[in-house]
Each structure stands twice: as structure tokens, then as C-alpha cells.
Structure 1
Amino acid sequence: MSYREKLLKEGKSGRRSAKASKTSGQDTALPPVAERIAQVQLNTVTGEITILDANGADLGNEAMAVAKAYANEALKENLAEQVDAHNRMMEQIGSIHLGTPAPNQFPQLVPEPFDQPEPVLPEPRKLDWKAWLCPARRNAILNSNERRVSEHQRQQLQWQSERENHRRKEGQRAALYQRAQQASVPAMELVLDDHLMDIDWPQETCLSFELSADGKVLMLDVDLPEIEDFPKTELRLYQRGIGVSVKELSDTALRKLYMAHVHGMGFRLIGEGFACAPSVETVVLSGFTQVTNAATGRVEDKYLYSVKVKREAWGAIQFGNLGQVDPVEALAAFELRRDMTKTGIFRAIEPWGS
């Protein structure tokens, strides 16, 4: 249920906050601005709460007062959901490597459900007594029923065609995964593309990869977030009243989290590469950020680290105990190019070639 639906439901049922109910005899009808409320926006940097309309426009203090007065509990629930989502995302940022599969753990195909409901045959219009007295009315009802049946048949045929098309595509995907498991290079490339897009990254992630013609070397490049754009707050709901407190991470804690994230992403991608492409013997993973060159003004790639990993060495990791694995240290056990201080300040490096 959307926040607007909750607001209208609470308002129409007459439930109001204790503050609003102090005035006896006050009209409980919802103010006009309530009809325009569509969503609650929480700024995870400042903790500011804004009430918006359907177009994303700020409805101001009046809407906030209405929300507190007429839908206080719904407002708290909505804010709690946003706070929980942000804090979960912050936890996932530092532990993205925990989902890394073992190198022999080929990904399972996750079927895409066909979620279009089957068309329902409409109830035919019944002939009333007027239809028996008036042939024209009777013919109109019968013709209307025929058109409904004809339209239903058309919709049914289209639905069956789309269902068969979906089944065919799912069959092709299943065959693709089977060929990839048998080390077909084109199939492994497609499975990598399909599977990596399905991973629930805590932040938007852009990456590219190239598989050698013999299927033995996988090159991965991942566009890492800049630390300046990195989320750095922890949120907590007020125990009393409506509000969210914001705790900003210290510079040291932020850099520690950033190190864990950028290395954790690399760790996860290396593992996914070995798992999705059984013939791959070497994965070369390079992580970069995009920075503006102060001399030219051009945006350029700045590589933070580049690591070359052999399958046999990768298999020595205890994938059943990843909670005890530090991805920053783990990548250093392989052929790693990285110029990083103990406090997590990176300098540009030259990445590995193939």
C-alpha cells in the first residue's frame, strides 16, 4: 500500500495523532493538500524529510503537518522502511564478497516466470423481457455477445502465442547454460552477461569483459565508485516524534568501508568469472574510477588496482568461510598491482594486459 493510500485510509477512518485530536469538535475531513500527497522522500545525507506530489514536487510544511496529524503511524512506517533499506545497503557495501561462489559452482538458471494472466471469457449479456418484445434489442445483445466471444478468442490466441514464445526463449536459455557448462565460448560469454546482470549489487555497477578465443583467459574491467560519491551515513529513527538522526562516518571509517567495497567487488567478480566459465584458467580483473584530468579537462580512467588470478590458486580459498576472508588481503595473495596507503588512499597504476 502506498503512503498516499495509507494517508487517505487513516484520514477517512477518523484516526488522528494525539496532538491533532486535542481540539474537540474539529472537522476530521482531510484537507485538500492530502489528496496531492504521493510519497515521502528521505534525504539519507541530511536526514531531511519531504512530502512530494505525484510529479515529485515538494508540498511544503502544510503537507508535512497533515501527514503528521492524519497518518502519523503510516509516516513512521514509511520512514522506518527507508531507514532500514539504507542501513542494509551500507552493510551490503562492505560485505559484497560474501556471495562469491566457489570456482566449480556453475550458476543455476533462474527461470523467468510468464506472469501474464490468461484472458477470462466475459459473462454473456442476458436477454431481458424487453429483448423478447423488441427484435432489434435482441439482435443487438446477441451481436454484442458474439463480439465479446470473438474478442476473447483473439486475446486467447495472442496469450497462447506469447506463452509459447516465452517457453521457447526459456528453453533457449536453458540450452545456453548447458552449452556454457560444457565450455562453449559463445555460450559462456552470454551466460556471464546474463548472470552478472542478475546480481543485486548494492550500488549501480558498470562492467565489461572479454573472453579469449580459446576460453582460457577472462578479462574483466569494473567501473568503481569514486570515494567522493560514496554513501557515508548511518540512519536511526527518532524514538519520539517524527525524524531521522544522521551519523556521518569518520574519514577513517569511510576509507575502510571504501577499501572493503572496491576489493569486495573485485573478489566477487573473479569468483563469478571462474564459476560461469568452466574453461577459464586465468581471470584478470581491473578496477578503475573516472577522474577529470586537471591539465586537459578530459575525463580519464584511473586504475586503482589490477589482479591476475589462476584458477588453481583461487580454489585454495575456503568459500564456506567467507565471513573470515578480508578481500583487501585476499587479492594481495595473487599477482596484484596496487599502490595504496594503509589508510586507503589510492594512486593510479598500470593494469595487467592479457
Structure 2
Amino acid sequence: MAFRFRRTVSIFPGVRLNLGKRGVSVSAGLRGASVTLGRNGLYGNVGIPGTGLSYRERLLEQDKVGTRKRSKAAQPSPELPPLAGEIAQVRLNTRTGDIAILDSAGNDLGPEAFEIAKTHAREDLDNTLQQQVDTHNRMMERIGNIHLDTPAPDTFPAMVAEPFEEPEPTEPALRKRDWLAVICPARRKAFDESNERRRNRYRQAYQQWQQDKVQQERREVARAGIYEKAQRGDVTAMESVLDDHLLDIDWPRETDLSFELSGEGTMLMMDVDLPEIEDFPTTELRTYQRGVGVSVKELSDTASRKLYMAHVHGMGFRLIGEGFACAPSVETVVLSAFTQVTNAATGRGEDKYLYSVKVTRQAWSQIHFGNLSEVDPVEALAAFELRRDMTKTGIFRAIEPLDADYAPGHA
């Protein structure tokens, strides 16, 4: 990609999470969420696609796995088949509705593993599927409504604090002397040395924990200072706040953004790399009323293009708003949106700019930010200085993006 500016940030779906050092074990579920079926019981895992971040919570203990709520009489818990220990995740293909049971290496374990998951974790598997179907459908809705959370230009963002969530080390359980240690000095010494090693490991872990906590607190104080400087118009601080704030937003799609503030902080230039329409989601999902599975409804070509058109303009609308809000000294924002296309003559990837728009703070302030549900981003951007070659059905032809020196009549 050919970003024209010096500062780049990748913004992802989901929200920022703070995790400990322990990872998750084998999982059975979907992209973004799963359930784990193993010796220690059944776990739920939730993650952000594309980031590797996840959260895990125990759903059922091992002795409860396999018990069906619909069964009135108590039944003994069946022994888990050996193949259950190989289950790493169950992935849902949101284009086809196919569900694949995979091991930790990503290999398909086949229908037998699927039957094991249905038999031993049916209710939780059903719930996980339903949650992810709902998440996908909400994401589809948010894709077309990304502009609804655009802040007013005079609304400086509040810093989202990152709490220190690493658990404090617990003091070790010391070995108690047995009767032999009482009469045997060598054994007593071995007990004492073992306990001292445990104390030392705890002291080191606690000291490291304290240092990490202090460093985290110092980083938060520094971040707060940057937000204060940005609110006063410091150029470097405003860039940092825009970078930081964009990562705190729950975006529906992964997006790369490049931006740069002018030296005096009055103009913000932004390039946003949008998804290609071929890679855009075009399905609505529904879980089966009977059995385990997901049905897929494919959007029509017209509906898909309208959704894509709403998203690419809504994304630009949102980013312009965030730019004005995060950088109080900015009077003009120039945003250009492009996608990656393959040149049929060379086979090389090239940037195709879909639109480029120049907006002043004064003109942007005319928008009714308390009534954004009635605002159409496609029409809204056309009210400003806009370069765009698009048909009514959402087919784009490439344009040359605006630059900082652009003025009407000098295109």
C-alpha cells in the first residue's frame, strides 16, 4: 500500500483488552468465540479476530460435562473419548455456514469430533453458535451504520484508562516438617532449603509484580498528560491522542489508516485503506431450529453494493469526525479512501482511490450530530469539496486524491 503520510495505525474490530500471561488451552467454538472441552471441564473463550486477544471463563466443571439439563434423572457423567483432547476449535465459515472441528495445528478432525462436541457440550455449543451468529449479524448492521457514533467536532475524547490487571502473586504454601525431619538434621535442612527457595521465588515474583504495576501507573500518568497537551493544541500530542483513541473504538472491520498533521496543527491529512468489495461480508446467518448448524442467506448484488457504499462513506465520515474531535486546532481535514486492486496487465497490486474529500471545521459543524440516524454519509460527504466518480449502484472508478494545496477550481 502506498500511504502518503508518515504515521500509520491499524484499527481492529473489538475493544482493547488487558490480559495476563496465561493463554487458553484446547478450544471448540467459532472465530472470535469458542468452547473448550478437556480434562478440566468446559470453558468459554472469546477473542478478537485478527488480534490474538482472548478471554476465557469456566462454563462447566469436568464432573458436570456431559450432563444434559433436559434429563430429569441424574445420570453418571460419560467418559470423554480420547479424540476430545485433540479438539482445538470449531470454526464457522460465515460465507457457507460450514462448521469445522480443528486440532491445535489447524487440521480438520472430521465428523467424529463434531459428534463428540455435540454429545458432550451440546447446550454450550448451541449457545456459542447463537452468540456468534448474533455477533455476525450485528456486525453486518454496524458496517452500514459506522457513522452513528461520530463525535461532534467540539467533543474532545476522554482517555480510556488501562487498569493493571495482572494478579498479585500469592504466598507459597511451605512444606511442613514430617516426623523424620524432626530427628534427621539432613532432612530438616532439605525442608528448610526447599521452603527458602519458595520464599525467594515469591519475593522475586512480587517484586516484579510491583515494578510492573508502578510502570503501568507511570504510563497512565504520561498518557493523561498527553491528552491534556493535545486538548491545548500540541501537535505531537494530538497525533498521539488520535492514534491512541482510534484503538479504543470498536470498529466493525479491520482498517489501516495513515495520517499527518501540518506543522502548525491546522490541517489533518488522512488516507484510509478500505476493504475490497470482493472481500466484503455479504451474508446473514441463522442457527438451525433443530439440530446443530447455521443457515446462510446471501445478500443480492444490489444489497451488497449498497452496504459497501454505506460502509466506505460511513468510515470516512467517522474518521473525519474523530480527526476534528481529537485535534482541536485542526481547521481542515483532507481524507482520501482507497482499496487495493490487481492490475490485470502486470499482476501487481495498485491503489485505487474511491473518493477524496476536503472538509473545514466550520462546514463540519453544520451537521446535526444529535440526529445522525437521519444522516446519509454518501450524501453528507457530497456536500463538501469531493472528488468521486461513482454510479448510483455503487460502482467506483479511480480518481486522483486531493492534496494539502488543493483549492476549488485547481483540480
Normalised to the residue count of structure 1, the TM-score between the two structures is 0.92
Matches within 5 A, 1:131-170: 131-170=181-220
- The residue matched to 1:170 in structure 2 has which SS? helix
Residue deviations 1:191-232 (CA, integer Å, cap 9, x gap): 111112222211110010011001000000000111111100
Partners of 2:42 and 2:93 in 1: CA distance: 21
Letter in 2 for 1:232: T
Match of 2:175 in 1: 125
1:6 is matched with 42
Q: Percent identity?
A: 67
- 1:297-308 correspondence runs (5 A): 297-308=347-358
1:159-217 per-residue CA deviation (whole Å, 9 max, x = no partner) reads: 22221111111111111111011100111111111112222211110010011001000
Is 1:210 aligned to residue 243 of structure 2?
A: no
Q: Which residue of 2 aligns with 1:284?
A: 334
Cα distance 1:17–1:156, how it changes in 2: closer, same or farther (>3 A)?
closer
SS of structure 1 residue aligned to 2:370: helix
C-alpha separation in 1, matches of 2:176 and 2:65: 39
Maintained 8 Å contact 1:289/1:303: yes
Q: In structure 2, do the counterparts of structure 1 residues 109 and 126 end up closer, same or farther at CA, with 3 Å as the change threshold?
A: same
Query: 5 Å matches for 1:92-111?
Result: 92-111=142-161
Query: Could you tell me how far apart the structure 2 residues matched to 1:50 and 1:259 are?
Result: 32
Question: What is the aligned-residue RMSD (CA, Å)?
Answer: 2.4
- Partners of 2:238 and 2:181 in 1: how far apart? 66
Displacement of 1:119 in angstroms is: 2.0
Report whether the alignment pairs 1:177 with 2:227.
Answer: yes
Number of residue pairs the alignment of both structures matches: 349
In the TM superposition, what is the alpha-carbon distance from 1:13 to its structure 2 partner? Answer: 5.1
Unmatched runs of 5 consecutive residues or more in structure 1? 22-26
Whole-Å Cα distance in 1 between the matches of residues 306 and 124 of structure 2?
36
TM-score (norm 2): 0.79
Identify the structure with the greater helix proportion.
1
In structure 2, the partner of 1:24 is none
Indicate which of 364, 370, 375 corresponds to 1:314. Answer: 364
Structure 2 SS opposite 1:343 = coil
Displacement of 1:9 in angstroms is 6.0
Match of 1:89 among 112, 120, 139: 139
Map of 1:48 onto structure 2: 98
- Separation in structure 1 between the aligned mates of residue 155 and residue 307 of structure 2, nearest angstrom: 28
Matched, 1:342 2:375: no
Say which structure is richer in strand.
Answer: 2
Q: Which runs of 5+ in 2 are unaligned?
A: 1-33, 44-59, 72-76, 405-411
**Which deviations, in whole Å up to 9, do the C-alpha atoms of 1:230-281 show, x marking residues without a partner?**
1000001111122211110011111110011000000000000000000000
CA contact (8 A) 2:147 2:317 kept: yes
Match of residue 54 from structure 2: none
Q: Match for 2:244 among 186, 194, 197?
A: 194
